[in-house]
Amino acid sequence: MKKIGLFYSFATDKTKRCANKIEESFNSKKFEVVAIDVNETLTEEQFLEFDNIIVGVATWFDGELPFYWDEFVPALEDMDLSKKRIAIFGLGDQVTASENFADAMGILGDLFEERGAKLIGHTATDGYIFEGSEAVRDNKFIGLALDLDNQNKLTNERIEAWVKQLEKEF
């Protein structure tokens, strides 16, 4: 049984919906997914307890991290993540925020990689239309981009395909 820590804010609407769908899409005979709330009480120890990590982050404030992740950045900056595999799902709005689509996924991805983590769960940008995104490297998203504002109908199938990919990559 592989253990995965799923970190997101329990107080957000859309990120939480996606996290719940991710949790139920994993094969429960092979993976134990432990959901952990990213709020002001999240500790470094809780984050470091897992070698396999999924992180959920929406983009807010025109290309920025939501405050609940921003508050955790100082703790992250001191961590050694060299044994961690991290998959990020990022929410955004590719129509009204076309130039900053899901930027927060890229911001967290850079922080994790600079501290030695291996990012997994890269996905193609096919099927999305946007001007720019900090979350794209080598023409791929560094994780899974989800747009519940404009492409809600694609969300479940995108998550199911991503979880199948993660089951191989973790």
Ligand X SMILES: Cc1cc2nc3c(=O)[nH]c(=O)nc-3n(C[C@H](O)[C@H](O)[C@H](O)COP(=O)(O)O)c2cc1C
Per CB under 6 A, the list member of 7, 60, 69, 141 interacting with ligand X is 60
Structure tokens at 115: 């501290």
Site string for ligand X, 86-125 (x = CB under 6 A): -----xxx---x--xxxx----------------------
Per CB under 6 A, the list member of 22, 42, 63, 144 interacting with ligand X is 63
Closer by beta carbon to ligand X, 58 or else 117: 58
CB atoms within 10 A of CB 55: 22
Tell me which stretch binds ligand X (CB under 6 A): 8-16, 20-28, 34-42, 74-82.
8-16
Residues 98/126, Cβ–Cβ less than 8 Å: no
Q: Is the dihedral of CA 10, 16, 20, 23 positive or negative?
A: negative
**Residue 155 near ligand X by CB under 6 A:** no
Tell me which stretch binds ligand X (CB under 6 A): 52-60, 78-86, 106-114, 156-164.
52-60
DSSP state of 117: P
**Residue 148 near ligand X by CB under 6 A:** yes
32 strand-pairing partners: 3
Residues 4/53, Cβ–Cβ less than 8 Å: yes
Which uninterrupted H or E stretch holds 144?
A: strand 144-146
Closer by beta carbon to ligand X, 17 or else 118: 17
CB atoms within 10 A of CB 54: 29
What does the binding site for ligand X look like in residue numbers (CB under 6 A)?
A: 12-15, 58-63, 91-93, 97, 100-103, 148-149
